[in-house]
């Protein structure tokens, strides 16, 4: 059975929180985002402190998406434009570790991460799923949901290395042979 490397995205490959940066980027064309910034930052803080409830987070994101998304196509165009500006925030040292068979697994929306395209060196991306037609979170890829989705797609395939910035990924750490914490592009092996 093959082994793969698995990478978290935000603060691991991407220098920052891509969803927050995308919300700030969207403000230029959609001022309604401003009304949800306090909620976005509050939930991000709770996420970073590992005290967020997945169902409450999913409800908060769905509420924001329903209010913010006016046009699905506009949203997708903005994601492409976002990467033209923010591609510089991808950590080259981490990108150099990724091969085509590796996987990026993230709580960020898959449409946003996939829009980064070839910059990521892999097309294997598991992220949260936003149904932009229904304007809701269809699947929040967070906590134990990351492991659930990984197992659905990869079965018992071994994870040789897992790279993350956060103990929010403890469930993924538990199923990985080696684990590296990433901080400012520097690695520290913890398992």
SS3 sequence of the chain:
CCEEEEECCECCCECCCHHHHHHHHHCCCCCCHHHHHHHHHHHHHHHHCCCCCHHHHHHHHHHHHHHHCCCHHHHHHHHHHHHHHHHHHECHHHHCCCCCCCEEEEEEEHHHHHCCHHHHCCCCEEEEEEECCCCEEEECCCCHHHHHHHHHHHCCCEEEEEEECCHHHHHHHHCEEEEEEEECCEEEECC
Flag the least confident range among 22-31, 107-116, 151-160, 180-189: 22-31
Is the model's pLDDT at 10 over the cut of 90?
Answer: yes
The pLDDT tens digits of the residues spanning 50-100 come to: 676 667 666 666 667 666 767 778 778 889 999 999 999 999 999 999 999
Which of 50 and 121 is assigned the larger pLDDT?
Answer: 121
Q: Average of pLDDT values for 121-131?
A: 94
| pLDDT at residue 89, as a whole number | 97
Can you give the CATH number for the domain in which 109 is found? Answer: 3.40.50.1000
Mean pLDDT score of the chain, rounded to an integer?
A: 86
pLDDT band at 143 (very low <50, low <70, confident <90, very high): confident
Which of 19 and 124 is assigned the larger pLDDT?
Answer: 124
Q: How many structural domains is the chain composed of?
A: 1
Is the model's pLDDT at 142 over the cut of 90?
Answer: no
Is the model's pLDDT at 1 over the cut of 60?
Answer: no
Residue span of the structural domain in which 163 resides: 3-189
The pLDDT tens digits of the residues spanning 36-61 come to: 667 766 766 776 666 766 676 666 66
| pLDDT at residue 100, as a whole number | 95
pLDDT band at 168 (very low <50, low <70, confident <90, very high): confident
pTM: 0.84
Is the model's pLDDT at 120 over the cut of 70?
Answer: yes
């Amino acid at each position: 059975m093959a082994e793969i490397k698995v990478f978290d995205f935000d603060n691991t490959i991407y220098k920052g929180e891509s969803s927050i940066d995308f919300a700030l980027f969207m403000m230029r064309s959609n001022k309604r985002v401003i009304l949800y910034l306090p909620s976005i930052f509050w939930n991000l803080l709770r996420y970073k402190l590992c005290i967020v409830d997945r169902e409450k987070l999913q409800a908060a994101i769905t509420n924001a998406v329903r209010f913010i998304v006016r046009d699905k196509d506009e949203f997708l165009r903005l994601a492409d434009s976002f990467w033209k500006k923010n591609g510089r925030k991808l950590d080259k040292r981490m990108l150099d570790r990724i091969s085509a068979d590796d996987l990026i697994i993230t709580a960020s929306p898959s449409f946003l991460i996939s829009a980064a395209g070839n910059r990521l060196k892999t097309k294997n991306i598991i992220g949260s799923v936003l149904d932009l037609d229904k304007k809701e979170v269809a699947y929040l890829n967070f906590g134990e949901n990351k492991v659930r989705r990984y197992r659905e797609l990869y079965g018992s395939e071994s994870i040789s290395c897992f790279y993350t910035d956060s103990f929010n990924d403890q469930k993924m750490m538990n199923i990985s042979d080696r684990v590296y914490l990433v901080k400012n592009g520097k690695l520290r092996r913890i398992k």
